Structure 1
C-alpha cells in the first residue's frame, strides 16, 4: 500500500478516537501549537521550497510529515513523541539528476513535567536518525543517536523558547560520511485572540565534520480555522538563508503548513 494511503488511514483512525476540539478556545489551541511539548496531538504537513543549490542553481521541494503524540507517564510527567518524515523532490541538487522519495526520519522523545512552579516549560530526551531515504541523494545512510531538549516560556500572547539536539552516527553504510551535527532552533511566537499567530525562528545546523553552518531564518503567519468539526492551522511564510553549507541553498525560500489538531 502506498505510504500516503497508509498515513491517511492512520490519521482517520486517530481522529475517530479523539474528542472534539471545541472543548478549548481557538486561541488556547493556537498557543499550544507554539509549544513543542504541549499535551496536544497534532499532525503537521510542512511544505518547503529552496533554490540556489550548487553550480546549476538546483532547487528542492519537500513535505515534512511531523506527527506529535503526547502520552501520560503518570500524574506528573508526559512523554512526547515528535517525528519528522520528509518526502522530497529535488532537481540539479546533485548536478544533472532529479530525485523523488523519502528522506531520513528524525525521531525525538521528550520527557516533560505536566506543570512547574516556575512557569518554565521544558522537556529532555533522546533523538534518533533513521536512514529511511529511498535514494542516496536524499539521505546520509547512517543511524544516529544523541540528546535533545526544549525550554520555553509562555506569557500572555508571547511564546519564547528554543529546541536543540545533537546527533552522532553510530552505524550505517560504509563509505558514507559520518554524522556529527548540532541543531538549534530558537523561536518567537505571538498569538492574537483571533487565533492568528506570527512566528519567527531559525533552524541552525552546525556540521562539526565539515565545520560549516546552515542558518535559515523563517518568518510567517498562521491561522487556526475550523473545517467542519476539525480544527486546522494554516500557515504561510518566507525564509532567508543567512548562511549555507557549501553547495547548499541560497537566497529566499517558501514555507507553508497545514496542521491537523486532535486535542486530548
Structure 2
C-alpha cells in the first residue's frame, strides 16, 4: 500500500499530489486567522422506562453562522435525532443517530448527512470507568468514488473525583479512524475533557 506524505517544513506550502488528491493550491496554508464556524444545536426529550431503557427523540440543526466560507457550508440544516441507551448493572450502552438536510442558504449543492455517536461505559471501582463515545458521519451526497464514511473506533478511561465540594469528571479517549471522508482528516485523535458533575435542574 502506498501513502503520499504531506510535506511540511516551517511555513512551507502544502502542494497537491500529481493526481490532485488533496486539491490544495500553493500558499493555502501560509496565512492564519481566527474565524467562527457554523453552530449546531439540538432540542430533545427523553424517557427512562422501568426496564432501564432510555429513549430520546428530538430535532437537530445547524445555523449558518460561519464568518468565512472556508469554515462553513453556507446553508441551514435541519432534521431528526433519536437515541436509545440501556442501563446495566455494569454500565451503559447506547447509540445516537441524527440526520440533517439543507433547508436554506446556498442552493448550489445539496446536503444530506447522517451522523451520530455510539457510546459505552463500564463501571470500575473508586470512580474509574472504561468509556468510549466516538462520533461518526455518512455523507449521502458525496461524489462517486469518494469515501462517504467518517468512522472512528474509540476507547478510554474516566475518573470522577471531588475538588472541594464539587465532583468533577476527567476523561481521556483515543479514537482511531477506520474510515475517513476527508483527505486531510486525522488518522487518530486523543481527546481530553474535564467538567463538573452537576444535577439536572428539573
TM-score scaled by structure 1? 0.60
Q: CA distance change for structure 1 residues 216 and 102 in 2, over 3 Å: closer, same or farther?
A: farther
Q: 1:214 aligns with which of 141, 150, 153?
A: 150
2:19 alignment partner in structure 1: none
1:188 matched residue in structure 2: 120
- Is 1:263 the counterpart of 2:195? The answer is no
Aligned residue in 2 for 1:155: 88
Report the counterpart of residue 169 of structure 2 in structure 1. 233
Q: Secondary structure at the match of 2:183?
A: coil
Displacement of 1:250: 3.8
Separation in 2, partners of 1:162, 1:106: 19
Contact residue 134 and residue 175 of structure 2 kept, 8 A: no
CA separation of 1:173 and 1:249: change in aligned 2, threshold 3 A = same
The alpha-carbon deviation at position 248 of structure 1 amounts to 3.8
Instruction: Tell me if structure 1 keeps the 8 A contact 2:35–2:71.
Output: yes
Greater helix percent: which structure?
1
**Offset at residue 224 of structure 1 (A):** 1.3
| Structure with greater contact order relative to length (CA < 8 Å, sep ≥ 6) | 1
> TM-score, normalization: structure 2?
0.77
Q: Is the 8 A contact 2:63 2:77 kept in 1?
A: yes
Higher strand share: 1
Taking only aligned residues, the RMSD between alpha carbons, in angstroms, comes to 2.6
Q: Which of 55, 65, 70 pairs up with 1:122?
A: 55
Q: Which has the larger radius of gyration?
A: 2
C-alpha separation in 1, matches of 2:7 and 2:196? 34
Structure 2 unmatched runs, 5+: 15-21
Partner of 1:111: 45
